[in-house]
Amino acid sequence: MRTKPVLLVIAHGSRDPRHAATVHALVRRVRSLRPGLRVETGFLDFNIPSVHGVLESLAAEGVRDVVALPLLLTRAFHAKADIPAVLRDAPPQLRIRQAEVLGPSPLLLSALERRLYEAGLSPDDKSSTGVVLAAAGSTDPEAIAVIAETAREWRRTGWCAVRPAFASAALPRTEDAVRELRELGCARVAVAPYVLAPGFLPDRIARGAAEADVLAEVLGPAPEVARVLLERYDAARRPALAAVGA
């Protein structure tokens, strides 16, 4: 029987202990949704195990097939440069396929709404509520364009308005987007952090949401996020499955 590739979730890492704890909670959710799938976690920086260390351990065990999944919401520098560089240094006996990043996905919009409803909103509030889609930020134009398109797509689901904002590297900031929605006339303003785990930039988003009515939690181990991970894993496996007629 053909062995399923190991899923290696690659997270950025942070000095903030909440970051790694949230990543591990998300990975546990993924495992619960796909019993029998081996899921490992590696960090690019700050936390252990490192991506390189996990790859070395897998190779030493005799693992041959790995799907490396960037725990990122957009294709920016980490997905385009950092992660491919780390994977190029992997033990040569490993066959590694890099999966796509998580966003964009309708499931992520569902996860954002889940967090807003958990923070006190209801579906009946949508038409009178403006939402700030608060991302970490990037200097990559492709990543910024994806966030802007995600905001436009989310607006079509019935919110009063949706505005993108960024905690770093791009404008507007969260607090500026909150004020814009107030001036637009939305009855209430909510901030939805479009980030996966707590840390320095999510804390900056929270400070920028001081004048908002509602601040949602980060996406974290939301079930919809776990489902996106499995979708990206399956898509990365598909060419090999087709090749063997699976």
Q: State the pLDDT at residue 12.
A: 95
Q: pLDDT (tens digit, 9 = 90+) per residue, 86-140?
A: 999 999 999 999 999 999 999 999 999 999 999 999 999 999 999 999 999 999 9
**CB under 8 Å to 73, separation ≥6 — which residues?**
101, 102, 103, 108, 135, 194, 195, 196
Rounded distance, CA 164 to CA 6, Å?
A: 35
Q: State the pLDDT at residue 31.
A: 98
Rounded distance, CA 6 to CA 96, Å?
A: 9
- Give the CA distances from residue 209 to residues 61, 111, 191, 213, in Å, rounded to whole numbers and listed in that order: 47, 19, 6, 8
Q: pLDDT (tens digit, 9 = 90+) per residue, 139-155?
A: 999 999 999 999 999 99
Which pTM does this prediction carry?
0.94
**Are the C-beta atoms of 52 and 85 separated by less than 8 Å?**
no
